[in-house]
Amino acid sequence: MQRILVMGSSGAGKSTFARKLAAITGIPAISLDAMYWKPGWMPSEDTEFDARVTDAANTPRWIIDGNYLSHAGSLRRDLADTVIWFDLPRRTCMIGVMIRIMTSYGRVRPEMAPKCPERLDAEFLHYVWTFRRKQRPRLADFLEALRFDQTLTRFMRRSDADRYLHDLSASGSLH
Three-class SS of the chain? CCEEEEEECCCCCHHHHHHHHHHHHCCCEEEHHHHHEECCCEECCHHHHHHHHHHHHCCCCEEEECCCCCCCHHHHHHHCCEEEEECCCHHHHHHHHHHHHHHHECCCCCCCCCCCCECCCHHHHHHHHCHHHHHHHHHHHHHHCCCCCCEEEEECCHHHHHHHHHHHHHHCCCC
**Average pLDDT in the 139-151 region?**
97
In the prediction, which pLDDT does 173 show?
Answer: 60
pLDDT digits over 15-41, tens only? Answer: 999 999 999 999 999 999 999 999 999
Share of residues in the chain with pLDDT > 70 (%): 98
Of the candidate CATH numbers 3.30.1490.20, 2.40.30.10, 3.40.50.300, 3.40.50.150, the domain formed by 3-171 belongs to 3.40.50.300
Domain ranges for the chain: 3-171
Instruction: Report the predicted TM-score, pTM, of the whole model to 2 decimal places.
Output: 0.94
pLDDT digits over 63-109, tens only? Answer: 999 999 999 999 999 999 999 999 999 999 999 999 999 999 999 99
